[in-house]
A and B are shown apart, each in its own frame.
Chain A
Amino acid sequence: RKEVEQDPGPFNVPEGATVAFNCTYSNSASQSFFWYRQDCRKEPKLLMSVYSSGNEDGRFTAQLNRASQYISLLIRDSKLSDSATYLCVVNIYNAGNNRKLIWGLGTSLAVNP
């Protein structure tokens, strides 16, 4: 099992739709979680961190479920500009207290007019 797994998609949704992505992680020692966004042929950019209690930033809501070891990203009222690949990132600390960031392969979203 991969350390971080995402459904690659693509998710094709109409403008205004609500869409949700999940990301599962295998290491229960995972400490921090992030969603990055990557546009085609561009660099990744931080979308939002994921906090234990869940957090919201405008149309975007991130949730963490430690018991089931997954994080989710919900996008409400999708815009054409939301079309991108969404990367799940998990930070773990190993036995030597060394930090390691694990990047998912990403979920592709296409918002259609």
Chain B
Amino acid sequence: NAGVTQTPKFRVLKTGQSMTLLCAQDMNHEYMYWYRQDPGMGLRLIHYSVGEGTTAKGEVPDGYNVSRLKKQNFLLGLESAAPSQTSVYFCASSSGLAGGVDTQYFGPGTRLTVL
């Protein structure tokens, strides 16, 4: 049982490049989330999903897109990376049994630098 895994762990991009971050969970969780964490800003929700095939915007969705084609995977895309997107990205999942008010399990994070 690996829990929540994220790929890649580190990445350096040039401004304007695109990339996709992959999150996978093996706990059969309904809900999945993408956060970014920046110094002095705390964890901010980018997008989330309450089930396969669904996505919704969080607090800071601009510049990102997501897809949840399979229940166990949640992809975060950056179409045209900007230096402001330099951050640590965390994926999380939760069972959703309590309507989302339940334990969130986080992946190890992806450290992204945009030059």
Interface residues of A (CB under 8 A from B): 31-32, 41-46, 87, 91, 99, 101, 103-106
Residues of B within 8 A of A87 (CB): 42-43
User: How many angstroms from the CA of A54 to the CA of B43 in the assembled complex?
Assistant: 26
Q: Which residue of the partner chain, among A42, A43, A101, contacts B45 with CB atoms under 8 Å?
A: A101
Interface size on B, residues (CB 8 A): 16
Main SS class of interface, B: loop
Bound-complex Cα distance A87 to B71 (A) = 28
In the complex with contacts A103-B42, A105-B40, A43-B101 CB distance below 8 A: no
Q: Is the interface of A mostly helix, strand, loop or mixed?
A: strand
Known: A44-B90, A105-B40. A99 touches B101 (CB 8 A): yes
Task: Point out residues on B near A: beta carbons under 8 Å.
Answer: 40-45, 90, 99-101, 103-104, 106-109
Contact of A43 among B40, B41, B99, B107 (CB under 8 A): B107
Q: A46 CA to B40 CA in the complex, in Å?
A: 21
Closest A residue to B50 using CB positions: A99
Report whether B101 and A32 are in contact in the complex, using a CB–CB cutoff of 8 Å: yes
When A43-B107, A44-B90 are in contact, do A91 and B101 touch as well, CB less than 8 Å?
yes
Checking A31, A41, A103 against B101 with a beta-carbon cut-off of 8 angstroms, the contacting residue is A31
Q: Using A43-B109, A44-B90 as known contacts, say yes or no to A105 and B42 having CB atoms under 8 A apart.
A: yes
Q: A42-B108, A46-B104, A106-B42 are in contact. List 6 more A-B contacts (CB 8 A).
A: A31-B101, A32-B101, A41-B109, A43-B90, A44-B43, A105-B41
Residue among A42, A43, A91, A101 with the most chain B CB within 10 A? Answer: A43
